[in-house]
Structure 1
Amino acid sequence: MKILISPAKKMRVDSDSLPPLGKPAFLADAKRLLATLQAMPPEQLKALWGCSESLAAMNVERLRTADPDRALTPAILAYEGIQYQYMAPQVMESGQLDYIQAHLRILSGMYGVLRPFDAVIPYRLEMQAKLPMDGQKDLYGFWGGRLAAHLAAEDNCLLDLASKEYSRAVRPHLPDSVRWVECRFVTRKGDKLVEKATLCKMARGRMVRHLAEKGAQTPEDALDFTDLGFQYSAADSRPDTLVFIKED
């Protein structure tokens, strides 16, 4: 089983905590994307990123000095979003770190697919960015079916903990031989089940940690997850969708 998660917009450099163990599988593509970004004027980059002036300025400066071949930060430590805070890889035991290296995969607009200890540089490029490449209008077209093919070659079962923005870069291209199981984290409000974005990110991070702690091998190993007040609901789940409910 491979577990899929999204990256985070906020990134950092950490060359001291843990060493990287390899290079990204799609590093050559990442370099091409980086070169395309580096050739764009700041105003165009700001529009592509859809961010504030200060964030745009910081990321333009990052682009100026970016060198993927000199990356020193493992991907799992490079991302600083809520999901990663609640996963807390910095305090995982060695066996849990070995587990996520073997089973966890991070989807990325820049790098395609990352193992946790692949060396990366800070970047800003979401999967849904409309960046024309190779005659394609956006990154979904650029990556095409390559990410799905890469993951299918690794495993015949994928547990989806990624956001829809990233899941859609993989799922439509998977062969029928690969089992796809999505985890949903919802809050019950009256007779409605509602997804709360921040709570979902927190739960996804905790779920990764839960699976690493028990050495999970199948999606069914996730069913006893109870962190943050969530409980698995068999009544609301389907074979390809595991639903965890938190009572409001």
Structure 2
Amino acid sequence: MLICLPPSEGKTPAPDDGAPVDLSSLTAPGLTAQREAALDALATVSARQDATDVLKVGATLADEVSRNAGLRSAPAAPAGDVYTGVLYAAAGLTDLTGPAADLARDTVRIFSALWGVVRPTDRIPAYRLSMGVDLPAVGKLATAWRPHLTAALDERAAGDVVVDCRSAAYLAAWKPATTGPHAAEWVTVRVVREAEGRRTVVSHNAKHTRGVLTGHLLRRAGEAPSSAEGLLATARELDGEVIGTEVGTGLSYRMIEATLGEAPARSGPRVLELVIA
């Protein structure tokens, strides 16, 4: 099992007494040179007057952008603490202990426009950069990272099931091979709501539900799934469980069904659909 997560847009800064990032300690050391290039380019851009425009963020985030210039010396913390938001709150990566924490270290990879990919335990500083940016001196980040992530991840994914919870921008940086020597069973996770006989795609609840699934995959007893069918069976263990509360109404919702789509005719993922109501 390889669980692919997107980063959170918002990030929690590390405590002031945290040691700075050590690039040599991050997972996939083959990415170090590209990380160096991205760090240098981001620092240069973040010192420019048009930095918020280049990085595609609002003017209210100017202070966060300016801090990008000092990331090499900024305090760092485990990525599972730095990345925050709905998915990460539901997954509870920072609460894992024992075998569940070991499993997360081995199976969870968080995709990043700056670091490429990190484990939850990798220590990084908070930063502001998204994969959709065309970073001067580096280029379009999804394109720039693609060959490096292919080299770093294809062998790890081969023969396993990839549980893909990423958004489109981060998916563009690496797509698992579904044929050839590094073929994996690639499954994307989609969440829909059922109401009055109709099913519609949701957004906020989707992030939360993907987080719940991630937490379940890491905490449950037994072997981690290694195939798409095994993933489906594991997801169905959540059928009937209350998994969240609606923002605003305070009403709870539960997962009522999990289904797995057929393999596509061409290279691409199968879809694990989680139905909530």
TMscore range, shorter length: 0.7 to 0.9
Instruction: Write out per-residue CA displacement over residues 5-26 of structure 1, whole angstroms, 9 at most, x where no aligned residue.
Output: 0001211234599xx9932432
Instruction: Write out per-residue CA displacement over residues 136-188 of structure 1, whole angstroms, 9 at most, x where no aligned residue.
Output: 4x1122112321332211122311111222122212x6351122111111112
Residues 58-97 of structure 1 aligned to structure 2 (within 5 Å): 58-60=64-66, 62-67=67-72, 72-97=76-101
Point out the structure with max Rg over C-alpha.
Answer: 2
Residues 46-195 of structure 1 aligned to structure 2 (within 5 Å): 46-60=52-66, 62-67=67-72, 72-134=76-138, 136=139, 138-156=140-158, 157-171=161-175, 174=177, 176=179, 177-190=183-196, 192-195=198-201
Cα distance in 2 for partners of 1:140, 1:111 equals 12
Q: Given the superposition, is the C-alpha separation of residues 133 and 189 from structure 1 closer, same or farther in structure 2, using an over 3 Å criterion?
A: farther
Q: How many residues align?
A: 239
Unpaired runs of at least 5, structure 1: none
Residue type matched to 1:23 in 2?
L
TM-score by length of 2: 0.77
Q: Give the match's secondary structure for 1:242.
A: strand
Q: 2:257 aligns with which of 205, 229, 232?
A: 232
Q: Give the match's secondary structure for 1:224.
A: helix
Identity %: 22
Unpaired runs of at least 5, structure 2: 245-253, 264-269
By how many angstroms is 1:189 displaced? 4.3
Provide runs of 4+ in structure 1 moved above 4 Å. 189-192
Q: Is the 8 A contact 1:30 1:110 kept in 2?
A: yes
Q: Give the match's secondary structure for 2:50.
A: helix
Instruction: Write out per-residue CA displacement over residues 67-103 of structure 1, whole angstroms, 9 at most, x where no aligned residue.
Output: 16x7531111111121111112232232211111011
The higher-RCO structure (CA 8 Å, 6+ apart) is: 1
Residues 17-36 of structure 1 aligned to structure 2 (within 5 Å): 22-25=25-28, 26-36=31-41
Cα distance in 2 for partners of 1:190, 1:168 equals 35
